[in-house]
Amino acid sequence: MIAGDIGAHVNTVLRWVQAEHGQIRALTSEEIPGHIRVLEEENARLRAANRELMERLDTRWAVEN
């Protein structure tokens, strides 16, 4: 799900997660909803940052041309 959202291969995302957070362990069924919420919030934050950067680039391009 996350890999598809950001346009990356699943293995790339798994390697990044391992590098950032250490060895992956299976979550318990009680942990999954909270973990998904945190990941969705991070995804939303990154998308908003991306939108802001794209808007800044568009503005710069429009001013220069």
Tokens of 1: 């799900």
The tens digit of pLDDT for each residue in 2-51 reads 667 777 777 887 888 888 888 777 889 999 999 999 999 999 999 999 99
Question: Using H for helix, E for strand and C for coil, what is the string for 10-52?
Answer: HHHHHHHHHHHHCCCCCCCCCCHHHHHHHHHHHHHHHHHHHHH
- Chain-centroid distance of CA 19 in Å reads 15
> If pLDDT is split at 50, 70 and 90, which confidence band does 1 have?
low
pLDDT score at 50: 97
Q: How many CB atoms lie within 10 A of CB 59?
A: 10
pLDDT score at 3: 67
